[in-house]
Amino acid sequence: MAEFDVDLFVIGGGSGGVRAARIAANYGAKVMVAEEYRMGGTCVIRGCVPKKLFVIGSHVHQEIEDAVGFGWSIGQVSFDWATLVANKDKEIARLEGAYTTNVEKSGARIVKTRAVLEDAHTIRLATGETVTAKYILIATGGAPNHGPAVPGIEHVISSNEAFHLKELPKRIVIQGGGYIALEFAGIFAGYGSDVTVVYRGDNILRGFDEDVRKHVRTEMEKRGITIITGSTVVKVDKHGRDFTTHLSNGSSIASDQVMFAIGRHPNVRGLGLEAAGVAINPANGGIQVDGWSKTSVDNIYAVGDVTHRTNLTPVAIREGHAFADTVFGKRPVQVDHATIPTAVFSQPEVGTVGLTEEEARAQYSHVDIYKTDFRPIKATMSGRDTRVLMKLVVDGSSDRVLGCHIVGDAAAETIQAIAIAVKMKATKADFDATVALHPTSAEELVTMRTPTARHVRQAAE
Average pLDDT of span 110-139: 94
Nearest CA among 100, 143, 101, 123 for reference residue 13? 100
User: What SS3 class is residue 276?
Assistant: helix
Percent above pLDDT 70 for the chain:
99
Give the C-alpha separation, 295 to 313, whole Å.
Answer: 20
Kindly indicate the confidence band of residue 461, based on its pLDDT and cuts at 50, 70 and 90.
very low
Active-site pick, 59, 246, 265, 438: 438
Nearest CA among 14, 18, 22 for reference residue 142? 14
Q: Are strands 300-302 and 130-138 parallel, antiparallel or unpaired?
A: parallel
Q: In 10 A of CB 67, how many CB atoms? A: 14
* Residue 343 main-chain phi, psi, to 5 deg: -135, 150
The pLDDT of residue 45: 85
CATH class of 348-456: alpha beta
> What is the full DSSP assignment across 294-340?
B-SSTTEEE-GGGGTSS--HHHHHHHHHHHHHHHTSS-------SS-
pLDDT of residue 145 exceeding 70, the answer is yes
Percent above pLDDT 90 for the chain:
92
Examine domains 6-144+265-327 and 153-262 and report if their fold is the same. Answer: yes
pLDDT of residue 279 exceeding 90, the answer is yes
Based on the number of CB atoms within 10 Å of its own CB, is 250 exposed (0-12), middle (13-18) or buried (19 or more)? Answer: exposed
Mean pLDDT of the chain: 94
The pLDDT of residue 323: 97
Query: Which amino acid is residue 25, in one-letter code?
Result: A
Give the C-alpha separation, 229 to 239, whole Å.
Answer: 26
* Residue 423 main-chain phi, psi, to 5 deg: -65, -35
The pLDDT of residue 459: 58
Least confident of 28-32, 67-71, 273-277, 455-459: 455-459
pLDDT of residue 432 exceeding 50, the answer is yes
CATH code for 6-144+265-327? Answer: 3.50.50.60
Q: For 400-424, what is each residue's pLDDT tens digit?
A: 999 999 999 999 999 999 999 999 9
Give the C-alpha separation, 164 to 142, whole Å.
Answer: 19
Kindly indicate the confidence band of residue 54, based on its pLDDT and cuts at 50, 70 and 90.
very high
Give the architecture (CATH level 2) of 153-262. Answer: 3-Layer(bba) Sandwich (3.50)
pTM: 0.93
Going from N- to C-terminal start, the domains of the chain cover 6-144+265-327, 153-262, 348-456
Give the C-alpha separation, 258 to 199, whole Å.
Answer: 14
Give the C-alpha separation, 251 to 181, whole Å.
Answer: 20
The pLDDT of residue 1: 46
User: What SS3 class is residue 22?
Assistant: helix
Give the C-alpha separation, 23 to 333, whole Å.
Answer: 13
Q: For 195-223, what is each residue's pLDDT tens digit?
A: 999 999 999 999 999 999 999 999 999 99
Give the C-alpha separation, 274 to 252, whole Å.
Answer: 44
Average pLDDT of span 52-57: 96
N-term to C-term CA, the chain:
70
pLDDT of residue 232 exceeding 90, the answer is yes
Average pLDDT of span 280-297: 94
The DSSP letter of residue 109 is E
Give the C-alpha separation, 34 to 43, whole Å.
Answer: 17
User: Does the annotation count 438 as an active-site position?
Assistant: yes
Average pLDDT of span 388-398: 97
Give the C-alpha separation, 170 to 255, whole Å.
Answer: 8
- Helix, strand and coil content of the chain, in percent to the nearest 5, comes to 35, 25, 40
The DSSP letter of residue 50 is H
* Residue 362 main-chain phi, psi, to 5 deg: -80, -25
Average pLDDT of span 23-33: 96
Residue 429 makes CB contacts below 8 A (sequence gap 6+) with 399
